[in-house]
Chains A and B, each alone.
Chain A
Amino acid sequence: MSTANEIVIAGFGGQGVLFAGKILVYAGLLAGKEVSWLPSYGPEMRGGTANINVIISDTPIGSPIITNPGMLVAMNQPSLEKFENDVQKNGLIIVDSSLISLKVKRTDIKTCYIPATKLAEDAELKGLANMVMVGKIAKELGIFDLDIVKKAASKSIPARKQDLLAPNIKAIEIGLAYC
């Protein structure tokens, strides 16, 4: 029952997967789409695995829960192992290859390896691998342009932390440019 715009982003608590999801739903909202953002909450937020269900849709959203994502973004190995089999046929898995040595086993889906953590560190944007992923996801979705993603980032970053906007956008641009 899923569509391509049902995205699960998963990683360790602290990698910013919830925030990455927030920027995507804000971009969706600004682009006039229906959106929902459903986090895993509870003990996993305290250092274990965290994941976020993001839906960006042209029609009203029924259940905000994603059983079979069209896109899985794995930012650590346990997440890839946990969700790989849930991804719908012909779906996409994006893997942070700087943290995950494991390869995707399934052959009925598209796979994309991007060393997001390393790309961020090389650009002196340590900790912004999540934003590199936002850029990559936006590129794969192809439903909003960079301006909307920039505006979404600006809206998601609190007023008193707007100095963080520029590095976040730089990281998003790295993701957008990565092939």
Chain B
Amino acid sequence: MTEKVLMKGNEALAEAALRAGCRHFFGYPITPQTEVAAYMAKRMPKISGTYLQAESEIAAINMVLGASAAGVRAMTSSSSPGISLKSEGLSYLAGCDLPAVVVNIQRGGPGLGGIRPSQSDYFQATRSGGHGDFHLIVLAPDTVQEMFDLTIEAFELADQYRMTAMILGDGMLGQVMEPVDISREGTVSTVAKQWALTGTKGTRKKNIINSLYLNEEELEMLNFKRFEKYAEVEKIARTEEYFIDDADVIVVAYGICARIAKNAIDEARKKGIKAGLIRPVTLWPFPKLQLKAAAAKAKAFIVVEMSMGQMIEDVELSIRCSRPVDLCNRTGGMVPTPDEVLAAIEKAARAERS
């Protein structure tokens, strides 16, 4: 058995990036993700990597674009307001079909907001995060172990689909320290990046990476093609399921809220209420089929999230509004308690009986 070590979520995530072969990190400090940059600053020089604190978030994401165009694994991380600044770069990365990993350790918003944990960037992350028709792959860890595992996976998915993969965490996941097994090495991309700008050395036709297409027919065709790829990516949608086989009330929650919900579900089960949890691990693609299948048996849904209600729309769409969906939420940096979730479960169970 490999020995587990204690790490903060942010540190485990940074270590995972290194194990995935990422040697180019461009960042700009912001609470509560600063440990990612600090870890990279400490480690990168020792492994001949590049750690660069850019002059701004916008510069950092464009450095990622440049590094990615050159064919290397590159990453940036930030927290909510910083991600808004990066949205132009996210759109350009998509327009250029470049792989990248971007981390958002969310904090309360809007505006400069606060520094406490939040999930209110769900719309921004899952709809695209920038202008134009595009998607990010969005992965939502709920433990420090998953901060590690999903980060390695993010690099693999990004290379495989030539997309940006985002790790959507929150301040609490970034700061919490838990045992983590970091023995797993990432698979350094075996996909030959024949599109990369590595220099022709006079031996091949030159590669061009570009997002400007003034011919509208060509641009439409590119968007069609990109969405054919997205249809393929939809197949990676996945969930963790907890006591859903006989559940009357299903809680849907991701990230830290899923863990809070588990405590509430355990209590509800002790009281004889058949409650269960579906935790989307991928937020885009959203696990629509899993939700739809659950709606065939469950009588009511509750979405627990740290926002004014964003993921709830995807849940309602997935189940075609065929069951009542309640919202149990806190926002602005506040975190729901297991008791609040339990009260919501009890309310839904009562309503379903009457």
Contact = CB atoms under 8 A, between A and B. Distances in A.
Given A41-B171, A62-B260, A22 B177 contact: yes
Categorize the interface residue count of chain A.
10 to 19
A70 interface: no
A72 B256 CA distance: 24
Interface in A3-52: 22, 25-26, 29, 34-39, 41-42
Nearest to B116: A42
Contacts of A77: none
Interface string B323-351: 00000000000010111000000000000
6 contacts: A26-B6, A34-B179, A35-B6, A36-B176, A42-B115, A64-B176
A62 B4 contact: no
A65 B256 CA distance: 10
B90 interface: no
A65 B341 CA distance: 14
Contact of A37 (B31, B176, B259): B176
B6 A62 contact: no
Contacts of A67: 337-339
A156 B38 CA distance: 19
Contacts of B262: 62-63
Contacts of A35: 6, 178-179
Q: A-B pairs with the 5 shortest C-beta distances?
A: A37-B177, A62-B263, A62-B262, A63-B260, A38-B176
Interface string A49-71: 00000000000011111010000
B164 interface: no
A25 B177 contact: yes
Interface of B: 4, 6, 31-32, 115-116, 171-172, 175-179, 256, 259-260, 262-263, 266-267, 335, 337-339
Interface of A: 1, 22, 25-26, 29, 34-39, 41-42, 61-65, 67
A64 B335 contact: no
B263 A1 contact: yes
Contacts of B175: 38-39, 41
B104 to A, nearest CB: 17
A25 B260 CA distance: 20
Contact of A25 (B6, B31, B259, B335): B6
Contacts of B176: 36-38, 64
Contacts of B337: 65, 67
A30 B286 CA distance: 38
Contacts of B31: 41-42
A157 B176 CA distance: 19
Contact of B259 (A1, A34, A63): A63
Nearest to A34: B179
B266 to A, nearest CB: 7
Nearest to B260: A63
A67 B334 CA distance: 13
Given A1-B267, A37-B6, A65 B178 contact: no
A41 B175 CA distance: 8
The residue among B177, B179, B259 with the most chain A CB atoms within 10 A of its own CB is: B177
Contacts of A65: 172, 260, 335, 337
A1 B339 contact: yes
A126 B219 CA distance: 69
A83 to B, nearest CB: 15
Contacts of B171: 41
The residue among A22, A39, A61, A62 with the most chain B CB atoms within 10 A of its own CB is: A62
Nearest to A42: B115
A1 B342 CA distance: 11
Contact of B115 (A1, A41, A64): A41
Given A22-B6, A63-B259, A65-B335, A37 B116 contact: no
